[in-house]
Amino acid sequence: MHAYLRQRILDGTLPPGTALSQLQLAHQLGVSRTPLREALRLLQEERLVLAEHNHRMRVADINLEELESLYASRIVLESLALALTVPRLSQSELDALNQELDAMHAASIERDADTWERGNRRFHALLALHAQDRIRETIHRSIDASERYRRIKLRTIPHALEIAEAEHKDILAACCERNSDAAVERLARHLARTALTVIAQVAPEHEPTAVRTALRLVTGKLNSSGQSNAGRDSSERTRTR
């Protein structure tokens, strides 16, 4: 039941702000209120639903502060993990990364966002393979927590799967060349583009300072206007669509 409701929130069937009546949901799903309350509790822990003062629940709105903090931290921490991982990648590990890309490509052809999402998680986890356990655990939690925002990008941006595939291939190519600097920069820009693209869709007036600052810390590059190149690229992509 938790998985079912979670999926409906992530795929937009239950959009942000939707009121959730436990009585109606229990009747619709054919379950008692007890397992339903447990499912809603888990969704609340994931910040996908919020409890209101009258004991009703509603689907959480998009939280820009959470989005920014998640992606700013991911840019910094996943870049560190990748820098630690690239020099130690074995051929079998590079093959595993390539296999994930092949599986994600097949899923994109079928427009199977669920399978693609699972492959995306595994791909990013492999990029942190040789970081310390605590770093990897933190990264895994952040990847889980940012799924809602990835799903928004996949739903709302034309050719989002193809764009992500090209970026993943560029990251893997740098890994295969043992070029840590290039791999780290490409990963940081890939993550920043996701955050900046979603922000441009849901709140174009919002200034994503944390994401741009994190990107600058990793790449050391800002254009003359003070905007990161990833932010500029994302804005240009959005305008052209």
Q: What is the pLDDT tens value at each position of the chain, 241 positions in all?
A: 888 898 888 888 888 889 998 888 888 888 888 899 899 999 999 889 998 877 789 998 888 999 999 999 999 999 999 999 999 999 999 999 999 999 999 999 998 988 999 999 999 999 999 999 999 999 999 998 899 999 888 888 889 999 999 999 999 999 999 999 999 999 999 999 999 999 999 899 999 999 999 999 999 854 333 344 444 444 444 443 4
For the chain, domains (ranges, CATH) are 2-59 (1.10.10.10), 64-240 (1.20.120.530)
Collapsing DSSP states into helix, strand and coil, what is residue 57? Answer: strand
- Position 7 scores a pLDDT of 85
Q: Is residue 143 a contact partner of residue 124, using CB atoms and an 8 Å limit?
A: yes
Residue ranges of E strands in 67-189:
none
d(Cα 37, Cα 127) in Å, to the nearest integer?
37
d(Cα 78, Cα 97) in Å, to the nearest integer?
16
For residue 136 the two structure tokens come to 């990897």
**Strand partners of residue 49:** 59
**For the whole model, what pTM was predicted?**
0.82
